[in-house]
Structure 1
Amino acid sequence: MAIIKLSAIERRRLQAFVTCLVFAVLAWLFTALSNPYKFTVKQPLTFRNSPQKRAFHPLQPDTVNAIVQGTGWQMLFSKWTDTRKEVNVDLQSLDTKNFIVLSSQLKQINAKKDPDREMVGFSPDTLFFDFSNRSVKRVPVQAVTSLQFERQFAQSGVMTIKPAYVKISGPAEVLARINFWKTDSLKLTDLNESVNRRISLKRSNEGNLDVEPKAVSINIPVDEFTEKTIEVPVKLINNRNFYDVKVFPQKIKIIFTTSLRDYPDMNEDDFEAVADLDLWSRQGYTTLPVKITNMPSYSKIVKMVPQNVDFIVKK
């Protein structure tokens, strides 16, 4: 039950009033957000022109509070946009001193920012650095890959990385903890041919580490695979008492997958099948299981026939 009953004319007047009020609020809000404001956003620091003869360690966090002058709209959305942008700091003057004044680089920093969103200050404005002797270390590159292949295709050889090693320079105590350097992730799907890509190396989390080069070339051989069957002799191992032992059958059939490129060259010399006589002498086995102890890389065993062999021991 309505508390206040309004006539049709009164309802129309009320609707007109509410509509005007909403438009007035929106107009005020639009005008207010179009005015210039100063606001603070937290932004990550990156460094360039690092000293070549001095290793450094920042004595403050790797972020800085930047004072930005922009519109109210930019202030409203700065939480989602500005925090992902970086403040690039030139460290060239660290060759002669141990601090950087950010306000002295405002012109260079703003040159790489949006012209309508100018930085006017920083907190802290001065960055201090600790120094130690700079060392150099050579470490292997470790590729980070996620590969998915089309049906019947697979990696057919060793992945090659050029250069295979990179040079890192920085404080000796930091370098001592680094034994390899990773690449950015390489994710590929539906592969049906060899891959040759140039991929960047992971960026250093430490501002006082330099890595050279910044990228490497990765080659991953890919080929179509098919099945092949060969017969391989069974080799007896652990015949400690030199018994005269006969195994039956003397050869087994191995069904395996191989790349089309290697298919013609695959033969029994690429495999080694063994039966362990210790299983009889120590555990009483009446038949000996066959194990494949050597096979070509990137091939897979599909089936062995038989998987166990009989034997006769003449003492």
Structure 2
Amino acid sequence: MANPKNRGKNSNLRVFLTILLVVAAISVMIKLNRNFNFSVTVPLTFENLGDDQILKSASTNQVKVKGKASGYDYFKYRFFSQKFPIDLSQLQQKNGKAYYVFNAEEDALEGSLTGSDITSFQPDTVFFDLDKNFEKRVPVIPEYAISFAAGYGSLEGFKVDPDTITLRGPQSELDTITRVYTEAISFENVRNSVSDSLQLSFNAAIPMVEIRPDKVLYSLSVDKFTEGSVSVPLQLINVPSNVTAKVFPKRINVIFNVNLSNYELVKSSDFKVVVDFDQVESLSTSLTPEVKEAPSYVRDIRLSESTVQYLLVK
């Protein structure tokens, strides 16, 4: 059984501690309600920048504010992130320089210190380096590597859309840029068509220049390919007027790859293979034939003969 004297001591201690806490709380509240001097460092935010302007730099991104406020308001203020907004569309200008001057009577802090009495801003002026926003169109260069599965390929190849984009920024920066690049992407053993989007970037960091849009779509149309060949007559060009030219053979096989859907469309007449007598060398009796015309849907074109023999008869 507990000792009555001990119970009495514990009860008295609890009462004493309760009174002490109440007195301390009242004392703190009285002090918080009194006005006292404060000093806070406030980050700056910059708003309403014109579409035709770019903010290159500001002399500071924070300001030290001194003033008077109740301890209660200051205590609340310390628990919230406060910022001081500067309207860039209302800046003053002098000698080509843009600036904002803090006014202790007109400028006010946000949050619990809205009604405080401000005595000073340090620094009292923020200077801005503004530049005109220019636009420039540049090509998009895709960065990719592709390997196809055997018998597969792409007639159109890797394509991006759009293939040119708009840059916005200072003229001095835009003059140094001639292109933008996609992020690198690679494909292996490809059998099926693919498409998605890619992020755009520069080779080096250019923070003042904006890319619009900053992504492009890509597509790779993949088909099953097969090899084909047709026999094409050789056409002689630039034959001297005082001679008759003959070549052996008179026809040559054109070998190519074509996607299966276009295989039946290929005809001998779609190709033009020439022998150019302007290329004749005095010590040689052979010429190299060249493919001058071919359908757009064939690829990997080669000839069955790398050279042909010729004869000139007067």
Q: How does 1:86-105 map to 2 (within 5 A)?
A: none
Q: Deviation of residue 148 (structure 1)?
A: 1.6
Q: d(CA) in 2 for partners of 1:278 and 1:216?
A: 47
TM-score (norm 1): 0.57
Distance 1:276 1:49, change over 3 A: farther
Match of 2:254 in 1: 254
Q: Deviation of residue 135 (structure 1)?
A: 0.7
Please give the per-residue CA displacement for 1:181-233, whole angstroms capped at 9, x wherever unaligned.
22111222221122221222226722211111121111222112211010112
Distance 1:148 1:129, change over 3 A: farther
Is the contact made by 1:51 and 1:92 (CA closer than 8 Å) also made in structure 2?
no
Match of 1:241 in 2: 241
Match of 1:210 in 2: 210
The one-letter code matched in structure 2 to 1:168 is L
Q: Report the 3-state secondary structure (helix = DSSP H, G, I; strand = E; otherwise coil) of the residue aligned with 2:284.
A: coil
Q: How does 1:24-173 map to 2 (within 5 A)?
A: 52-58=51-57, 130-173=129-172
Match of 1:187 in 2: 186
Q: CA RMSD in A?
A: 3.5
Structure of higher CA gyration radius: 2
Match of 2:228 in 1: 228
Gaps of 5+ in 1: 1-46, 61-90, 101-126
Match of 2:273 in 1: 273
Distance 1:139 1:157, change over 3 A: same
Please give the per-residue CA displacement for 1:240-282, whole angstroms capped at 9, x wherever unaligned.
43532222222101222222232222223443322232344x4
Is the contact made by 1:279 and 1:285 (CA closer than 8 Å) also made in structure 2?
no
TM-score (norm 2): 0.57
Q: d(CA) in 1 for partners of 2:285 and 2:278?
A: 11
Distance 1:162 1:306, change over 3 A: closer
Is the contact made by 2:138 and 2:167 (CA closer than 8 Å) also made in structure 1?
yes
Q: d(CA) in 2 for partners of 1:137 and 1:278?
A: 45
Q: Deviation of residue 137 (structure 1)?
A: 1.4
Q: Report the 3-state secondary structure (helix = DSSP H, G, I; strand = E; otherwise coil) of the residue aligned with 1:299.
A: strand
Distance 1:185 1:94, change over 3 A: farther
Q: Deviation of residue 96 (structure 1)?
A: 5.6
Please give the per-residue CA displacement for 1:27-71, whole angstroms capped at 9, x wherever unaligned.
xxxxxxxxxxxxxxxxxxxx99975332243589xxxxxxxxxxx
Q: Deviation of residue 92 (structure 1)?
A: 8.3
Q: How does 1:286-297 map to 2 (within 5 A)?
A: 286-296=285-295
Match of 1:12 in 2: none
Kindly indicate whether residue 263 of structure 2 is the aligned counterpart of residue 263 of structure 1: yes
Is the contact made by 2:136 and 2:174 (CA closer than 8 Å) also made in structure 1?
yes
Distance 1:134 1:291, change over 3 A: same
Q: How does 1:9-24 map to 2 (within 5 A)?
A: none
Match of 1:103 in 2: none
Is the contact made by 1:288 and 1:308 (CA closer than 8 Å) also made in structure 2?
yes
Distance 1:184 1:268, change over 3 A: same
Is the contact made by 1:58 and 1:207 (CA closer than 8 Å) also made in structure 2?
no
Gaps of 5+ in 2: 1-45, 60-84, 92-97, 101-125
The one-letter code matched in structure 2 to 1:186 is I
Is the contact made by 2:47 and 2:88 (CA closer than 8 Å) also made in structure 1?
no
Match of 2:3 in 1: none
Is the contact made by 2:47 and 2:87 (CA closer than 8 Å) also made in structure 1?
no
Is the contact made by 2:52 and 2:134 (CA closer than 8 Å) also made in structure 1?
no
Distance 1:51 1:150, change over 3 A: farther
The one-letter code matched in structure 1 to 2:258 is T
Distance 1:49 1:287, change over 3 A: farther
Q: d(CA) in 1 for partners of 2:159 and 2:165?
A: 14
Q: d(CA) in 2 for partners of 1:249 and 1:185?
A: 48
Please give the per-residue CA displacement for 1:163-189, whole angstroms capped at 9, x wherever unaligned.
232211101122122222221112222
Match of 2:35 in 1: none
Distance 1:237 1:99, change over 3 A: farther
Distance 1:252 1:205, change over 3 A: same
The one-letter code matched in structure 2 to 1:152 is G
51-60 or 258-267, larger mean C-alpha shift: 51-60
The one-letter code matched in structure 1 to 2:227 is E
Percentage of matched positions with identical amino acids: 26
Q: Report the 3-state secondary structure (helix = DSSP H, G, I; strand = E; otherwise coil) of the residue aligned with 2:173.
A: helix
